[in-house]
Amino acid sequence: MTERVDERLERAFDKRTATALGKLGLATVGDLLGHYPRRYADPGALSDIAALQVGEHVTILARVEQATVRPMRNRNGALMEAVVTDGSSRLSLTFFGKHRGSLYNHEKRLVPGAKGLFTGTVGLYRGTRQLTHPDFTLMGEESDLDSDEALLEHATKPIPIYPAAAGIPSWKVQGALRVVLDTLADDDVPDPVPSDVRQRQGLPGRAAALRSLHRPATLQEAYQARHRMRFEEAFVLQAALAQRRARTAAEDATARPPLPEGKPSILADFDASLPFTLTDGQRQVGDEIAAELASPRPMHRLLQGEVGSGKTVVALRAMLQVVDAGGQAALLAPTEVLAAQHARTLRALLGPMADGGTLFGAERTGASTRVALLTGSLGAKARKEALLQAASGEAGIVVGTHALLSEHVQFADLGLVVVDEQHRFGVEQRDALRAKGRVSPHLLVMTATPIPRTVAMTVFGDLETSSLTEVPAGRAGITTVAVPAGNVRWTDRTWARVREEVDAGRRAYVVCARIHPDEEPAAGPGGLKGTGAKGTATTRDFDDVPEFLDPSGPGAEGAADRPPLRAVLEVVEELRSRPELAGVEIGVLHGQMPPDQKDAAMARFASGEAPVLVSTTVVEVGVDVPEATAMVIFDADRFGISQLHQLRGRVGRGTDPGLCLLVSDAEPGSPAYARLEAMTQTTDGFKLANLDLELRSEGDVLGAAQSGRASSLRLLRVVKDAGLIEEARTAAADVVSASPDLTEFPELANAIRAQLDEDQEEFLERA
């Protein structure tokens, strides 16, 4: 932006006004112009008080006749009643406050004789018409609203309502913007959207859009201006992502084509050994990845898949293609539990092919390679051996956690980096691993959380996207039921069902939100925060119990006050004392346990020695025990849909059907209850992901939930604006193709630097 728009507010206004605006984070004139109205009050037609109809939205020009403030009679709080008149008829205005002080601003302004515009919906109280909490603008409070004529002219236009703060109400923001807009020239506002793009899209210039946004003549004009600014936000972001794609495409990589038929090939032997048939989706995605690995430009691909869709097999086939071509693959996992699980899974899938051998050239004997595991908890001897296998090339596949990023870890020829659960890693971590290759290695990012296309375009826009939506044949499916925590009969039957699964030789998870009973659960991906508010437990008639839960006996117990969130260490003791689970060994797993104890707990669970495992969400991603068929999730209403879907995906992974019981106190009709109902109605992760986005705020999608800061997007909504994002992506790709460094589009380059600061750049990498 030019200095004119970037100048400090102190130079544009008096110090008092600038300080007040600073409370809203507005330091420059540019900040003020970017402080968009959150809504518009439609003034409607100016009305005579005598003609007002109940339920009608009106704006009246009137004078305050009297105003009083008094305590409310039957409950805490204060009530202000003002009477206004248009000279012939009267109308009551009513305002409520927590105490008299909260109404002080209205009391100070609505004094007898004050004249202004009052906007609201006509209501009826004890036979008298009134406006409750109307918006109003008074003559004299604004420099250009100092006459009846000015007020009447103002009344015909939408009234912008701005985000405000104490001491800086919406009307003061509106007044400050009026001062700025009166002196704003088109040249003061560089436009990041090139003129030919604006022409194709039918968009006004930026300066004109800002005027229409802050001082619209009609609501239609305001909405058109908002559309223009939404397109700009999408266009700038998509241009930044297009630049990143262009930089990647210009990097050199080592081509890793498949071996010709007839040559010794681990990939060919692996495919021939598979005891199942790949799904059509696995084959299609595998072909896409194989073609990109054969290119001398680095692959940057996101592989998203439904829970249990077989992403691991697809990733392993890609790694084996690289190993066949003389390279190595590194698989980066977010936790030691998951890293160890991946190493076990890969070795099991490879069988005798994981015995080792020499990687390079014709000297390799047999189609085999070694899978090495490198984590921070390895002993000195095991760590030294894993480091040697990676550095020498003996290990074609190296699986690890953040330990892989250590400067002591070296590879003979790193050709492919596979990142599992990309959102758990930052930009420095991913780049540190990629930097270990001689040239840029290929990159495959995996996520088990299905991502709607609009989010993939906006958050993962620098990656090509592949999706696995099919579940391999032979899976029996999962039944999900919401269990009211306050209903004793339901909960008793829950543990009886768990016992039935155990007696049939199967396994059951029990998931809790925290480890210790006295700790505060931190806010995280699942939305947990606090210890759980008091409430009333949900109950249903006993006849409503689904067939598989239906016990014999009388009806349900009554509701009870909601207890704090359940914790692993209290639940495990409770279950060990329950008669339904008598004689059943119950294991424990949580993040504070030493790594060897975690491994031992998982091994005892997988073997059936301890067939019930009480755990935190450490089992959320990647843990694969085919015999696990039941999961009980305590306080399920406190988790997000995506996390519940991931947890549920840990059961029903074999040939036996899965059962997921969501224990909660959620009240029918609440958003939390709606989430649980959605979980019971579908196991389609993509449908659930879309619903999750609809229920979450935009900041959660693109900001605070992943990056710890608010989203830089102000008007764009990735769910609602899918078509606009598509158009912006196409337009941005054309612009960056014409000028990859944007030297021909300096305004766009400056906008990218301004919008995507260092924190946002990191977020785009890690989101």
Question: H helices within 351-471, ranges in order?
Answer: 380-392, 427-434, 453-459
Residue 45, pLDDT above cutoff 60: no
Instruction: Compute how many other C-beta atoms are within 10 angstroms of the C-beta atom of residue 673.
Output: 17
Give the pLDDT band (50/70/90) at residue 555: very low
CA distances from 234 to 455, 517, 730 (A): 12, 45, 11
Class of domain 266-293+309-447: alpha beta
Q: What is the mean pLDDT of the chain?
A: 80
Query: CA 484, 490, 492 angle in degrees (round to 5)?
Result: 130
Residue 552's contacts (CB-CB under 8 Å, 6 or more residues apart) are none
Note whether 43-157 and 478-682 share their fold. no
Beta strand 159-161 with 442-447 is: unpaired
263, two tokens: 């040559």
Q: Using one digit for the tens of pLDDT, what is the confidence trace for 118-150?
A: 878 899 888 889 999 888 878 766 545 556 665
Residue 764, pLDDT above cutoff 50: no
Strand partners for 80: 69, 95
**Phi, psi dihedral angles at 637 (to 5 degrees):** -70, -15
Distance CA 247, CA 742 (A): 13
pLDDT at 361: 38
Lowest mean pLDDT among 160-174, 420-434, 665-679, 721-735: 420-434
Residue 262's contacts (CB-CB under 8 Å, 6 or more residues apart) are none
pLDDT at 139: 72
Q: Using one digit for the tens of pLDDT, what is the confidence trace for 556-575?
A: 333 334 568 899 999 999 99
pLDDT at 682: 86
Distance CA 98, CA 548 (A): 50
What share of the chain in percent tops pLDDT 70? 78
Residue given tokens 């959320």 in the structure block: 620
Residue 30, pLDDT above cutoff 60: yes
Lowest mean pLDDT among 78-92, 500-514, 744-758: 744-758
pLDDT at 711: 46
In DSSP notation, 492-533 reads HHHHHHHHHHHHTT-EEEEE-SBSSTTSPPPP-TT---SS--
E-only strand ranges, 147-292: 159-161
pLDDT at 615: 93
More confident residue, 47 or 587: 587
Give the pLDDT band (50/70/90) at residue 377: confident
Residue 182 one-letter amino acid: D
Give the residue from 347, 363, 361, 335 showing the smallest Cα distance to 398.
Answer: 347
Residue 727 one-letter amino acid: E
Distance CA 127, CA 273 (A): 83
**Strand, coil or helix: 608:** coil
In this structure, are residues 763 and 750 in contact, taking their beta carbons and an 8 Å threshold? no
Q: Using one digit for the tens of pLDDT, what is the confidence trace for 518-548?
A: 665 443 333 343 333 333 322 222 233 333 3
Q: Tell the CATH superfamily of the 43-157 domain.
A: Nucleic acid-binding proteins (2.40.50.140)
* Distance linking the first and last C-alpha atoms of the chain: 28
Residue 621, pLDDT above cutoff 50: yes
Query: CA 646, 651, 655 angle in degrees (round to 5)?
Result: 135
User: What is the average per-residue pLDDT within 12-20?
Assistant: 82
253, two tokens: 């990589």
Residue 115, pLDDT above cutoff 50: yes
pLDDT at 149: 61
Residue 16's contacts (CB-CB under 8 Å, 6 or more residues apart) are none
Lowest mean pLDDT among 160-174, 302-316, 350-364, 444-458: 350-364
Domains of the chain, residue spans = 43-157, 266-293+309-447, 478-682
pLDDT at 696: 58
Helix (H) or strand (E) holding 443: strand 442-447
Phi-psi category of residue 536: left, alpha or beta, with phi > 0 → left and psi -120 to 50 → alpha: beta
CA distances from 340 to 13, 236, 335, 497 (A): 62, 41, 9, 30
User: What is the average per-residue pLDDT within 583-600?
Assistant: 89
Distance CA 234, CA 27 (A): 24
Residue given tokens 């009973």 in the structure block: 517
Sign of the C-alpha dihedral computed for residues 683, 686, 689 and 691 taken in this order? negative
Give the pLDDT band (50/70/90) at residue 643: confident
More confident residue, 486 or 45: 486
pLDDT at 313: 92
Query: CA 758, 248, 432 angle in degrees (round to 5)?
Result: 60
Residue 3, pLDDT above cutoff 80: no
User: What is the average per-residue pLDDT within 236-244?
Assistant: 89
More confident residue, 144 or 498: 498
pLDDT at 557: 34
Q: What is the 3-state secondary structure (H, E, C) of 699-726?
A: HHHHCHHHHCCCCCCCCCCCCCCHHHHH
pLDDT at 142: 56
pLDDT at 348: 87
Residue 766, pLDDT above cutoff 60: no
More confident residue, 457 or 287: 287
pLDDT at 757: 55
User: What is the average per-residue pLDDT within 653-666?
Assistant: 90
pLDDT at 672: 84
CA distances from 737 to 65, 243, 463, 745 (A): 66, 9, 17, 12
pLDDT at 479: 93
What share of the chain in percent tops pLDDT 90? 36
Query: CA 432, 437, 440 angle in degrees (round to 5)?
Result: 90
Strand partners for 399: 331, 373
pLDDT at 213: 95
Q: Using one digit for the tens of pLDDT, what is the confidence trace for 166-211?
A: 667 676 788 888 888 988 888 889 999 999 999 999 999 999 999 9
Beta strand 395-400 with 370-374 is: parallel
pLDDT at 450: 66
Give the residue from 189, 225, 143 showing the smallest Cα distance to 2.
Answer: 189
Beta strand 507-511 with 612-615 is: parallel
Q: What is the CATH number assigned to the segment(s) 478-682?
A: 3.40.50.300
Helices 266-273 and 336-350 cross at an angle (nearest 10°) of 80
pLDDT at 387: 92
Instruction: Compute how many other C-beta atoms are within 10 angstroms of the C-beta atom of residue 551.
Output: 13
Lowest mean pLDDT among 209-218, 322-331, 398-407, 694-703: 694-703
Residue 87's contacts (CB-CB under 8 Å, 6 or more residues apart) are 63
More confident residue, 686 or 280: 280
Distance CA 409, CA 386 (A): 9
**Strand, coil or helix: 368:** coil
CA distances from 330 to 318, 400, 409, 412, 440 (A): 11, 8, 11, 12, 13
Residue 581, pLDDT above cutoff 90: yes
pLDDT at 364: 41
Lowest mean pLDDT among 216-230, 345-359, 414-428, 506-520: 414-428
**Phi, psi dihedral angles at 99 (to 5 degrees):** -160, 175
Residue 622, pLDDT above cutoff 60: no
pLDDT at 166: 60
In this structure, are residues 235 and 193 in contact, taking their beta carbons and an 8 Å threshold? yes
